[in-house]
Amino acid sequence: MKMAIKARSFRDAKAQAKSNPELVWWVFMRLSGTALVLLTLFHLFKNHIATDEAGWDYEAVASSYADWWNKLYLFALLGLGMMHGGNGLRYVIDDATAKNPVARFWMKSIAYTLIGAALVFGLLALIVKIPVPGVG
């Protein structure tokens, strides 16, 4: 039994949703996904095409963190990416462990722990003041 909604329109999704949260997640995947198109592709363009990835040494990253608009951008990328990816992984685990509730429990526990830890780490990196060499 699949938990994720496999609908092809909002009306079908509403009819198939077993619970309200499941419908909210269905809508969230589509909204966050649309926002992530711009967030990820522009991020890749700026950091991987227009600049050399190898040039991102400590100083470059620290200076980029010093800009609050950039931090806001990264915050949205981090938050939406982790929530969208985390919920997507839940769909995948639900499908893969349809007949095995024990495996489902463990896979979800490990996945959520890893994602949660990375999210907290990433948020901290955005909150903590990181000194830029030569500037302080």
Partner 1 sequence: MYKGREGQWAFFLHRLSGVAILLYLILHTVSIGSTMLGEEVYGAVHKLYELMPFRLGLIGVAGAVAYHAFNGLRIVAMDFTSWGVKYQRQLWYAALVMAALFMLLTLYANLPRLFPDIFTYKTIWGR
Among 16, 62, 83, 88, binds ligand HEM (CB under 6 A): 88
State the first-to-last Cα distance of the chain, in angstroms, to the nearest integer.
Answer: 56
45-74 residues in contact with ligand HEM (CB under 6 A) are: 47-48, 53, 56, 61, 64, 70, 74
Binding test (CB under 6 A) with ligand HEM, winner from 23, 84, 93, 107: 84
CA distance 37 to 81: 11
Nearest-approach distance from CB 106 to partner 1, in angstroms: 17
**Partner whose footprint covers residue 9, from ligand HEM, partner 1, none (CB < 5 to 8 Å by kind):** partner 1
b/e per residue 105-121 (b: at least 16 CB within 10 A): eebeeebeeebeeebee
